[in-house]
Structure 1
């Protein structure tokens, strides 16, 4: 009997996958021929190319054929790849009600950590987003600035300890320590000081959370392949139980201690506790823990803190590393930036200040151009939550279909950015940036679901770059591999690392 059932089962699976891979042809949408099972993302799954590079190729393919959008398959799931700016505007802004959600599994009961702002959907997302938005105002950024500045000083000291003649530094390693300390301090209120003690328990659990193990890859694959209702019924979870328990326990202890002792600390956790107890944030140290109405649960606080941690760490580290690499390659840009930083810092009593950072126009141009060349996300992704008739076509995007807008494709499109592979901060000077067409440059996304923490992320990147440029002249070391190849991790890095030679130039006390 088994000899009869097995071939029939194989044939059934083969037929099902083939049928799934005929989706776009059945809808009359221009598509790229998929590989069996892997679809059009074979290079990503086999870790041959970074996802952003693969989707850039899709963008170029459909645009070269004059298509406003086209269809590809992520494994067996159909994905719409958009190239037309007007359609991008519809997806992200004009017709946002059709594309409100991200593509991701969420089950707050069985997998509490999955209930992050990034994963939340519909009304729950709108409610939490409204509560969290005030935590990223100018006033709140100023409140947390001193923490960022202190770690920038630690970064300078760390580089000095590890910078010896004829000994290049892998700059990504050091800026990662800087960023992880900032995020841990601001998100959880914990001083892990990875620059001096990289073996703390907190960091070990964070590494486990981020580790791309085979088991985790399989879990994530299941979470995007099986129907959501079935996963919820099965109480499926993506996060490891022990990791979840550690972070939930940590957050609970922090919240209870602060409430009991009325601890006021200028960080994201303090603001979350205020929202939990009062439904809003204030500029005071008041936690109002006596309130019987709780606007956020401990699980919700933990989920948001972890998301802040995950989203802010690797993204900022990669942007900083790529920015410093480009400055090492472009000495004229580096010298101009150093002159601006020195001028502003001297104005503020030889200190890096929030107001000073906001005055540094060329620094902003450098960071903007870095994010154009090296967008952190592979693309801006949305999921259709109700059928959407594509304007000026006979195609209807069905509920549950992912829509992907490839950022690297847009950011390196010569139609929008002449000589697109060149590092040129002048693209973002006051005159030129007004000419950039809407929806061609979106490092943090656009519309109501744009990244909520973009101002904080840019701030920590700017302060870190300032700290390095003030103290060192940068040059590329031969250990850096060119042409640059992106790693296949979730957030793209440089294969082989970014190795720089540092020449100390100042004893300015910051």
Structure 2
């Protein structure tokens, strides 16, 4: 009679063999279709490091983008045993998310739990045709005219931030103060988004946990839109301000250049006005270059709503297959951006930006589903940077390095960003 141990070992061996054959079969999906792939892990596919929290999903996709052999226009990968397609060349990116938008109208990264109203009913996640209806209703909120009306709220919040920073120098305005800028910029963007999205006046600088955070909101669709604007607006602008300050702290020459532009325009327009910001070209170059190096949302995702034949190929993307555009890969591809690791705001100058190939700079997405509030984000980022650089010189320890969080879908520093502030007497 066989022992129980032998029976158990035999059963495990049989199950392992079945799993091996099944997994190997699933991991030939792209190979059978003639799509370039990378070596895979039998269990994790190509996503082991993200699943073990060694690297964030967006930056792992960027790494896979760079590991493609022979610079193919697209690359087949697997998350566990499910196939996904990475888009690599700007031509095919443009084809799918702009020209052939009807095949890729919806996002893959959205909650499929219909009881999760915040996850499914917001503009970011909701599927077409509901998406088009909601976007049409919300679009008038983000016109230039509306932005001018909302601008004073941003200025008011930036004044609160300036007062908060000034208090740190009370008693000794010549000292150098270490400040965690991610925290500071998050308080700034929290107050702006709370005011714009919810109509609530808060002051996070005086009240670390304002009453706003404790409130409950009722309803479905309206709450979902407000929630996504709060989350996206808060995080994207706060990290952009933080990373911009970090890069400018590393390059005092560029910091002086943008500060000179800021002060010249504040004097020219009699203070911080909407028109003064429109004239700060170099500041906008700094923000764009920061977004290139540190895209807040590092992945653009779409899902095929029906079978799609890739132009000039015989390859069919089957309905339900997700495609990814990893911005850390596209934005740092030396084929499209010379010296891609270098912080060079002049690559967005009037003389050079027209040389940049379409769909190689996509911090807000592109096509019909481009971020509806990107101008709000740019404006509140600019106002925050103006208030800080107007009054402070920012520096950093030369050996200080930022670690990107491996537990966040956004590009955010794992341990904040600690910089040195010195008050300017201007």
Give TM-score, length-normalised by structure 2.
0.91
Q: After superposition, what is the alpha-carbon deviation per residue over 1:421-449, rounded to whole angstroms, capped at 9, x for unaligned?
A: 11111111111111111011111111111
What's the CA shift for 1:331? Answer: 1.0
Specify whether residues 200 and 71 from structure 1 end up closer, same or farther in structure 2 by C-alpha distance, changes over 3 A only: same
Name the SS of the counterpart of 1:405 in structure 2.
Answer: strand
CA contact (8 A) 1:486 1:495 kept: yes
The one of 338, 341, 344 equivalent to 1:418 is 338
Find 2:229's aligned residue among 303, 308, 330.
308
Would you say the 8 A contact 1:477–1:499 is kept in 2?
Answer: no
- Give the counterpart of 2:328 among 395, 408, 419: 408
- Write the distance in 2 (CA, Å) between the matches of 1:104 and 1:381: 7
Q: Give, in whole Å, the separation in 2 of the partners of 1:108 and 1:54.
A: 26
Map of 2:188 onto structure 1: 178
Q: Per the alignment, in what secondary structure is the counterpart of residue 431 of structure 1?
A: coil
Other-structure match for 1:327: 248
1:168 alignment partner, SS class: strand
Match for residue 291 of structure 1? Answer: none
2:360 alignment counterpart: 440
Report if the CA contact (8 A) 1:38-1:74 is conserved: yes
CA offset at residue 162 of structure 1?
3.0
Alpha carbons 2:176, 2:422 under 8 Å: kept: no
2:418 to 499, 504, 508: 499
Aligned-residue offset at 1:10: 6.6
Closer, same or farther: CA 167–61 of 1 in aligned 2, 3 Å: same
Aligned pairs, how many? Answer: 414
The alignment partner of 2:231 has SS state of: helix
Q: Deviations over 1:371-406 (max 9, x none)?
A: 111111222211111111112222100111111112
Partner SS for 2:338: coil
Q: Any conservation in 1 of the 2:58–2:409 contact (CA below 8 Å)?
A: no
- Counterpart in the other structure of 2:153: 147
* CA shift for structure 1 position 140: 1.1
Output the CA distance in 2 between the equivalents of 1:193 and 1:408. 34
Q: Corresponding residue for 1:131? A: 137
**1:59 to 2:65 alignment:** yes
Aligned equivalents of 1:6, 1:133: Cα separation in 2: 60
Counterpart Cα distance in 1 of 2:377 and 2:363: 11
Q: 1:201: Cα distance to partner?
A: 4.9
1:493 & 1:341 partners in 2: Cα distance? 26
1:262 corresponds in structure 2 to none
Query: Contact conserved, 1:171 with 1:321, CA < 8 A, in 2?
Result: yes
Query: Aligned to 1:493, what secondary structure does the other structure show?
Result: coil
Deviations 1:158-217 (A, max 9, x none): 122235735411111101110111111111112232211122354368xxxxxxxxxxxx
Matches within 5 A, 1:22-421: 22-62=28-68, 64-106=69-111, 110-114=115-119, 115-163=121-169, 165-203=175-213, 246-248=216-218, 298-349=219-270, 351-421=271-341
Query: Residues 385 and 167 of structure 1: is their aligned pair in 2 closer, same or farther, counting only changes over 3 Å?
Result: same
Residues 120-172 of structure 1: CA distance to partner in whole angstroms, max 9, x if unpaired? Answer: 11211111111111111001111111111111111111122235735411111
Structure 1: 5+ residue stretches without partners: 206-245, 249-297
Shift of the 76–378 alpha-carbon distance from structure 1 to 2, 3 Å rule, reads farther
TM-score of the superposed pair, with normalisation by structure 1? 0.77
Q: Distance in 2 between matches of 1:358 and 1:194?
A: 28
In structure 2, how many angstroms separate the alpha carbons of the residues matched to 1:20 and 1:168? Answer: 52
CA distance in 1, matches of 2:382, 2:109: 31
- Counterpart secondary structure, 2:395: strand
What is the aligned partner in structure 2 of residue 451 from structure 1?
A: 371
Residue 53 (structure 1) shift: 2.4
* 4+ runs deviating over 6 angstroms: 1-6, 8-11
- CA deviations over 1:58-115 (Å, ceiling 9, x no partner): 22222x4131111111233211011122111111111111111101344685222121
Corresponding residue for 1:430? Answer: 350
Contact 2:178 2:418 in 1 (8 A): yes
Q: CA RMSD in A?
A: 2.3
| Contact 2:293-2:332 within 8 A present in 1 as well | yes
In the alignment, which residue of structure 1 is the partner of 2:400? 481
Partners of 1:360 and 1:166 in 2: how far apart? 28
The DSSP-based 3-state class of the residue aligned with 1:430 is: coil
Tell me: CA distance 1:421–1:352, structure 2 relative to 1, closer, same or farther (3 Å): same
Distance 1:108 1:128, change over 3 A: farther
Structure 2 distance, partners of 1:171, 1:104, is: 29
Displacement of 1:453 after TM fit?
Answer: 0.8
SS of the residue aligned with 2:319?
coil
* 1:291-336 CA-partner distances (Å, limit 9, x unpaired): xxxxxxx411111000101111111111110001111111111111
Q: Mean alpha-carbon deviation: is it higher for 418-427 or for 50-59? A: 50-59
Change over 3 Å in CA distance of 1:310–1:12 after alignment to 2:
farther
Shift of 1:358: 1.0
